[in-house]
Structure 1
């Protein structure tokens, strides 16, 4: 029978990924002498926004997510960040494995909006583990379940998220629009022969009296 423990050691932006990705280094420890053949591991990653402080500027930008700071005791609830499945290879004792977490710059996604509006510091994460373990004993190959209570905490630097986005978007972001709104915006751009979408938005901001 196995007795597993998990620890997140580090995180970095994966500059070679096809899209923005944070790569975690996960340490898996088996506290028994049994050899683990493999683990089909599922990892649920949650953000815990209540476990960090916010500057007045950050609070203002996060208003549509959490409301006024006076309500933070009610609104700073855990937020789902990702669910990831990996195969942990054979090991005895302990092993370190990479866990890749793809990111999105869709500003309609709450986690993206959250990271985007933070200036610096860390985001407390909670990793919850489940899955199936295949291991050897004197009786042969056995299998069991990763206990649901297994978890690991990690503080992800905001700078790593921003670095991953910068590597793939280069100071740009994107927003999701309804098709009819996009068609209307495209017509506005075409009628005025504006060469780019960025200049189209700049024109609209100027007409609205907003500095952009």
Structure 2
């Protein structure tokens, strides 16, 4: 009797900081269940922030203004944000198994996901995991391959504190911005001209001059 393609169900169990790690990363743990033996699984994950699936107080709306515009425009501007895409190779299993999905994190404020995560004061981040990939199984002793159904996905609500704790661990009391070379040269010249000790001093002096 020919084998049927294994039907997979995927849930996100939890998330923690990836350790050891030179750069900041989060490790999401997936629960996978299959109704038939799986010889291997190549799992591609698109991770999106479902920004419309939570509420925002006035403080959050002001912090996220650069992403979604003034509060009165959020009705048409609030949308899902792509965080990242990864590929995970899951070895053979029967019944159920767990698999990690490691997501690199950045404090680069030119990246929309980082800007959004930094802008949330507290609460949860509504995440949507969209899965594609190939499942390998045996049919009468022959290795077969099938694509995951297009609607294979899972939702997960990540505490904002998980991301903030990760950033505090790798960048304690600091944040990062990227400057054009010409802007950096002007800032450096300002620092030297006024004999300022550090970059914070240079930026702070400019803010004080402008009244910011």
TM-score after normalising by structure 2: 0.94
- The match for 1:2 among 1, 6, 16 is 6
Are 2:19 and 1:11 equivalent residues in the alignment? no
Contact 1:15/1:167 (8 A) holds in 2: no
Aligned partners of 1:169 and 1:189: how far apart in 2?
A: 23
Partner of 1:109: 111
Aligned partners of 2:60 and 2:111: how far apart in 1?
A: 18
Partner of 1:21: 25
Gaps of 5+ in 1: none
Deviation at 1:15, TM superposition (A): 4.2
Root mean square deviation of aligned Cα: 1.2
Aligned partners of 1:62 and 1:204: how far apart in 2?
A: 24
Task: Provide Cα deviations, 1:68-104, integer angstroms capped at 9, x if missing partner.
Answer: 2222221111110110111011101111111110001
- The match for 1:40 among 38, 42, 58 is 42
Deviation at 1:65, TM superposition (A): 0.9
- The match for 1:181 among 180, 183, 197 is 183
- What SS does structure 1 have at the residue aligned with 2:39? strand
Partner of 2:53: 51
Aligned partners of 2:73 and 2:196: how far apart in 1?
A: 44
Aligned partners of 2:70 and 2:196: how far apart in 1?
A: 39
Equivalent residues in 2 for 1:55-94 (5 A)? 55-94=57-96
Deviation at 1:158, TM superposition (A): 0.6
Are 2:125 and 1:123 equivalent residues in the alignment? yes
Deviates more, 1:175-184 or 1:136-145: 136-145
Aligned partners of 2:98 and 2:19: how far apart in 1?
A: 20
TM-score after normalising by structure 1: 0.94
Aligned partners of 2:173 and 2:92: how far apart in 1?
A: 41
Number of equivalent positions:
208
Deviation at 1:133, TM superposition (A): 1.4
- The match for 2:146 among 126, 144, 147 is 144
Gaps of 5+ in 2: none
